Amino acid sequence: MAVAFFAPLARAESLTLELELDADLDAGAVVAEADAGVEAALASYADAVDESDPADELMQQLLLDAGYRSTLDLSDAELNRLWLEDPAALGSISVGHWVEGRLINAIPFPEPLDGGAWSVIVPQSCWTTEETAEAVINAANQLRAWFPSGAPVRVGQVSGPKGGLLSPHRTHQSGRDVDIGLFYPEGEPYRVIERERVMDVAMNWAFVKALLIHGDVHYVLLDWRVQNVLYAYARRQGEDRAWLDSLFKAGPYAVFHHAPMHRDHFHVRYWNPRAQELAFRLSQLLAFHRVELGDTLTGIAVKYGSSVSNLKTRNRLANHLVRLGQVLRVPLAGPCFHCPAAPIPTVPPRRLPPERPSG
């Protein structure tokens, strides 16, 4: 049943590719054919529903069969409706990749209350997703519980309000990369090159554990000299060696990777299961718009966060005129002119520290 339901969606994807490659095709007719296929699949699904099984359970199974895990509360029909009528209700959406991406429904990183466990250093470039913010805040609160008088977590740059290129970074484009400063005995950073010699090793190691416990960490970029100090300290504290090696010495499968210019901060990249899965499921809707009565290029550009010039270039339009029923490619705004469609995220289990024997 699941294959029958989603096969027309796959057909729609292939038709989209044909549309992009052959400018002479009648775009309206092609998309209409895809829509008809999806409607037929929905009718077939309705006919196949066993009255003894709740429809929502069957829909959940269909979504699971399609590979979805984090957006099972949204059927395709409901997802499409919300995107068209109330996109803010979907929450943050992380589009594309960290070096070529975009943010939809981004949130400014929350400011803490007085004496909070974190501080926002650069608010204008600290836009993110709900999932990333929650993970960092939970880690900060955990660190405050372990070090009540310790310095707050210093949250640096994440992304711009709509994602895309954030100078001087190549990454930080989709709301999932966070720069977080190292911790020092006096709270404020030391202005020396060899940060690993003056940092608060115990607090930095505790923060690493808090990150791994409270978030879906993809990986952490950190200078190898700082890594070596943290690894040696953890070994002296009796941490499990196999677990430590999986973090620092597992090559491409490690959590920590060396990066130049990362001697004074953690660069944490998170998985965002829901925000990434939403982007995958909406990839077709993010790419096309069918002109309806009253539509203008300016209105379409505002609706999708694009621009009139991008719309004209992408659709080879000589002027601002559009016709009813015309299907337009909608390029994403900013430097990500055509963000690549990232696959459905497969989030691995968290690399949790093993339980240590008491006493």
Q: What is the DSSP string of 42-86?
A: HHHHHHH--TTS-HHHHHHHHHHHTT--S-TT--HHHHHHHHHH-
Q: Do residues 100 and 339 lie in contact, with contact meaning Cβ atoms separated by under 8 Å?
A: yes
Report residue 14's pLDDT band, with 50, 70 and 90 as the boundaries. very low
- What pLDDT is attached to residue 209? 98
Q: Which two tokens stand for residue 306?
A: 């694009």
Q: Is the pLDDT of residue 23 over 80?
A: no
- What pLDDT is attached to residue 60? 76
Q: Which two tokens stand for residue 204?
A: 């930095």
The reported pTM is 0.73
Q: Is the pLDDT of residue 6 over 80?
A: no
Q: Is the pLDDT of residue 354 over 60?
A: yes
- The mean-pLDDT minimum among 44-58, 89-103, 296-310 falls in 44-58
Q: Is the pLDDT of residue 13 over 90?
A: no
Report residue 54's pLDDT band, with 50, 70 and 90 as the boundaries. low
Sequence-ordered list of residues with C-beta below 8 angstroms from that of 127, at least 6 positions apart, any chain = 103, 106, 107, 108, 109, 158, 159, 160, 161, 162, 163, 175
- Distance CA(105)–CA(39), nearest Å, equals 29
Q: Is the pLDDT of residue 358 over 80?
A: no
Tens digits of residue pLDDT in 69-78: 899 999 989 9
Q: Is the pLDDT of residue 93 over 50?
A: yes
- What pLDDT is attached to residue 8? 30
Average pLDDT for 289-316: 84
Tens digits of residue pLDDT in 105-117: 999 999 998 889 9
Nearest to 283 by CA among 252, 329, 233: 329
- What pLDDT is attached to residue 336? 53
- What pLDDT is attached to residue 63? 82
- What pLDDT is attached to residue 20? 32
Phi and psi for 347 in degrees, rounded to 5? Answer: -85, 120
- The mean-pLDDT minimum among 89-93, 232-236, 247-251, 322-326 falls in 322-326
Q: Is the pLDDT of residue 228 over 90?
A: yes
Tens digits of residue pLDDT in 172-218: 999 999 999 999 998 777 789 999 999 999 999 999 999 999 999 99
Q: Which two tokens stand for residue 275?
A: 């925000």
Element (H, E) at 261: none
Tens digits of residue pLDDT in 268-284: 999 999 999 999 888 76
- What pLDDT is attached to residue 304? 72
Average pLDDT for 126-147: 98
Q: Is the pLDDT of residue 131 over 50?
A: yes
Q: Is the pLDDT of residue 43 over 60?
A: no
